[in-house]
Amino acid sequence: MIDDADSLGECIMCIYSKPLQQKRRCFFQITESTKHNYRQNKKYTAAGSVSGSVQVCETTDCCVGYYRIINGTPKADILACDRIEKSCPDETCKAQTRINNQFLTCMCNTDLCNGNITWGKEQTSHPYSYFSGMAVKPLVGILLFMCFWIVVAQWRSCLKKKSKCANYQQEMHTGSDSLLVYVLQIVGRGHFATVFQGTYQGSVVAVKFLPAAYEHNFNTEKEIYELLLSKHTSIVNFLGAGRKPDDKSWFIVLQFAEYGSLHSFLSKQTTSWMFSLNLCQSLSQGLSYLHSDLLSHDLHKPPVAHRDLSSSNVLVKADGTCALCDFGCSTILRSCSEPYRRHNQNKNTKCIQLGTLHYMAPEILEGFVNLNESMFLMQGDVYALGLLLWEIWMCCYDLFEGGAAPQHLLPYELELGSNVTLESLMLYVSYMDKRPCIPEHWELLPQGAALRELLEDCWDSDSEARLTAHSVVERITSLQSSYSLSDIK
Ligand SMILES: Nc1ncnc2c1ncn2[C@@H]1O[C@H](COP(=O)(O)OP(=O)(O)OP(=O)(O)O)[C@@H](O)[C@H]1O
């Protein structure tokens, strides 16, 4: 049973900030060592009026502290009011995350509470983070170990039943009906699933198999596909789902995307300006549709946050447009038009720990996202969308001199290497407020300024300042009409 207050609090249309009775006062300090980080410092300075070492917070009730550990003692780098409203239930400033064993962050909700940080040398977790109550490193280790054994087990069973895995006809059950699917070769693997190319009713399809233990991911993904009302061209088409009778694995039958994932597409080829715009436009339309709250002929499609957007979870179809896939980590959000609907408040921590780290928004990396707040989840998707647009344009030969686009790289791969860790990302993205490098020569292109502005408005560190997916679609439409190929040559 959902009470009114609860539904109001989570309703995306009705988010409001409660007026503060008395403004919070926090210690204020920005040290020389952080002066390079002009953008972030400016935002902290703007968070309230400063008088000497005290800041009176304008809109938030939380004080923050960023500390650097020097000779085993934390020294304050930044002390200020928080820039945006977040949950900070602690009265004292307890160290929440330790970055590279060098940096600590803390948040608290009493006057001048950020002047002192409480920390233990072993303290690394944050009570409100996605990793709540767990030590991240051992957990990731255990999960990676489990994944390794799942892959080994699948590979061994594949070897045993080689003829079956390679090419077999399988009658699969969807409750009352059965699907006759002819399964051919493997076309992709994720953390949970193995995807095969197959045929169903004479058409080429993709069949995604999830091991029997992943019922939760299967149910979430199936539920999302089933509620997506009328089919949208930028969401991969769902054809059926069920359970294999022999090994009890789950399967989902989907439209086959001829070019595979966006990641594999961009790794193999570069694109023209117009082609890149089609990819970006269809991708943004897919996300805008996913986030939309639609009511049509008594059918309701509530907003959905994807929560695991990456270039491996976007497909490229034969017509050169993108389609979103992999909704196993998605969350159905509450909307004002139907407040009492049952919602899958998906708090599956496996998703976040196994999802591609590169695309995690700073507030998610820091663990400051309340999973019940719809807006935060959608803003996290828009951050990932910004990184995906950057990935696509970095592979567009028309945007590089002599038509030589660089080799495809994931966001932050250039800056942090191929083995990006949670700690290195937190340091780079969250603490230093850095983003993937936008080539300087783009400023000289007619559309360069618009591209930069669009990317920066998607990946802003202030999640509330980010564009909505719908406004990204509008910006790309105006790029399409303003800059044709002849303009940029
Ligand atoms: N409909 C499709 N058509 C073609 N290839 C597909 C299709 N669906 C998935 N794939 C391929 O299979 C890969 C894994 O699929 P998917 O992302 O759904 O699996 P997952 O285990 O849920 O992934 P993740 O690790 O992101 O959770 C994709 O990256 C893509 O290469």
More confident: 88 or 371: 88
Q: Is the pLDDT of residue 192 over 70?
A: yes
Which of 236, 261, 316 for a ligand 1 pocket mutation test, highest count of atoms within 8 Å of Cβ? 261
Confidence of residue 208 (pLDDT cuts 50, 70, 90): very high
Q: Is the pLDDT of residue 218 over 50?
A: yes
Confidence of residue 132 (pLDDT cuts 50, 70, 90): very low
Output the CA 326–ligand 1 centroid distance in Å: 6
pLDDT of residue 55: 95
Output the CA 218–ligand 1 centroid distance in Å: 13
**Using a 6 Å cutoff on CB, does residue 191 contact ligand 1?**
yes
The CA angle 55-61-67, to the nearest 5 degrees, is 60
**From residue 139, how far is each of 125, 135, 142 by CA, in Å?**
12, 6, 5
Q: Is the pLDDT of residue 269 over 90?
A: yes
| Structure tokens given for 257 | 């995307």
Confidence of residue 201 (pLDDT cuts 50, 70, 90): confident
Cα(341)–Cα(322) distance, integer angstroms: 30
Q: Exposure of 279 by Cβ count < 10 A (0-12 exposed, 13-18 middle, 19+ buried)?
A: buried
Tell whether 208 is in a known binding site.
yes
Smallest CA-to-CA distance from 47 within 27, 68, 70 is with: 27
Contact at 8 Å (CB) between 337 and 293? Answer: yes
Cα(326)–Cα(333) distance, integer angstroms: 17
Q: Which of 203-217, 236-250, 418-432 has the highest mean pLDDT?
A: 203-217
* Alpha-carbon torsion angle 61, 32, 417, 472, nearest 10: 50
Query: Which ligand 1 atom lies nearest to the CA of residue 264?
Result: 31
Output the CA 193–ligand 1 centroid distance in Å: 7
Residue with tokens 């496996």: 350
Output the CA 344–ligand 1 centroid distance in Å: 22
The CA angle 266-200-330, to the nearest 5 degrees, is 55
Q: Is the pLDDT of residue 21 over 90?
A: no
More confident: 191 or 154: 191
Mean pLDDT of the chain: 80
Smallest CA-to-CA distance from 90 within 69, 73, 106, 112 is with: 106
Q: Is the pLDDT of residue 138 over 70?
A: no
Which of 208, 239, 256, 353 for a ligand 1 pocket mutation test, highest count of atoms within 8 Å of Cβ? 208
Average pLDDT over residues 288-300: 87
pLDDT of residue 351: 54
Contact at 8 Å (CB) between 443 and 455? Answer: no
The helix or strand, by DSSP H or E, that contains position 456, with its residue range, turns out to be: helix 448-458
| CB count in 10 Å sphere of residue 409 | 17
pLDDT cut 70: percent of the chain above it: 73
The type of residue at 12 is I
| Structure tokens given for 367 | 């663990």
Catalytic residue annotation: 308
Q: What are phi and psi of 334, to 5 degrees?
A: -75, 140
pLDDT of residue 49: 92
**Using a 6 Å cutoff on CB, does residue 239 contact ligand 1?**
no
Average pLDDT over residues 281-308: 91
Smallest CA-to-CA distance from 311 within 261, 361, 382 is with: 261
Q: Is the pLDDT of residue 348 over 90?
A: no
Contact at 8 Å (CB) between 196 and 298? Answer: no
Nearest CA to ligand 1 atom 19: 190
**Beta strand pairing call for 177-189 and 194-200:** antiparallel
pLDDT of residue 295: 82
* Percent of residues in the chain assigned helix, strand, coil, to nearest 5: 40, 20, 40
Q: Exposure of 141 by Cβ count < 10 A (0-12 exposed, 13-18 middle, 19+ buried)?
A: exposed
Which of 183, 312, 346, 356 for a ligand 1 pocket mutation test, highest count of atoms within 8 Å of Cβ? 312
Q: Which of 139-143, 158-162, 412-416 has the highest mean pLDDT?
A: 412-416
More confident: 165 or 237: 237
**Using a 6 Å cutoff on CB, does residue 190 contact ligand 1?**
yes
Complex ipTM above 0.90? yes
Q: What are phi and psi of 170, to 5 degrees?
A: -130, 125
| Structure tokens given for 288 | 């805008």
Query: Which ligand 1 atom lies nearest to the CA of residue 254?
Result: 1
Contact at 8 Å (CB) between 331 and 304? Answer: yes
Query: Which ligand 1 atom lies nearest to the CA of residue 191?
Result: 25
**Using a 6 Å cutoff on CB, does residue 260 contact ligand 1?**
yes
Smallest CA-to-CA distance from 353 within 127, 125, 123, 131 is with: 131
Output the CA 140–ligand 1 centroid distance in Å: 21
Q: Is the pLDDT of residue 467 over 90?
A: yes
Q: Exposure of 397 by Cβ count < 10 A (0-12 exposed, 13-18 middle, 19+ buried)?
A: middle
Query: Which ligand 1 atom lies nearest to the CA of residue 221?
Result: 22
| Structure tokens given for 24 | 């919070």
Cα(333)–Cα(414) distance, integer angstroms: 35
**Using a 6 Å cutoff on CB, does residue 192 contact ligand 1?**
yes
Nearest CA to ligand 1 atom 29: 312
Output the CA 191–ligand 1 centroid distance in Å: 9
**Using a 6 Å cutoff on CB, does residue 399 contact ligand 1?**
no
- The separation between CA 283 and the C-alpha centre of its own chain, rounded to angstroms, equals 14
Q: Is the pLDDT of residue 377 over 80?
A: yes
Query: Which ligand 1 atom lies nearest to the CA of residue 258?
Result: 4
Which of 215, 264, 325 for a ligand 1 pocket mutation test, highest count of atoms within 8 Å of Cβ? 325
pTM, full prediction: 0.73
pLDDT of residue 361: 93
Average pLDDT over residues 96-117: 80
**Using a 6 Å cutoff on CB, does residue 188 contact ligand 1?**
yes
| Structure tokens given for 418 | 């191929």
Output the CA 257–ligand 1 centroid distance in Å: 10
Average pLDDT over residues 326-355: 62
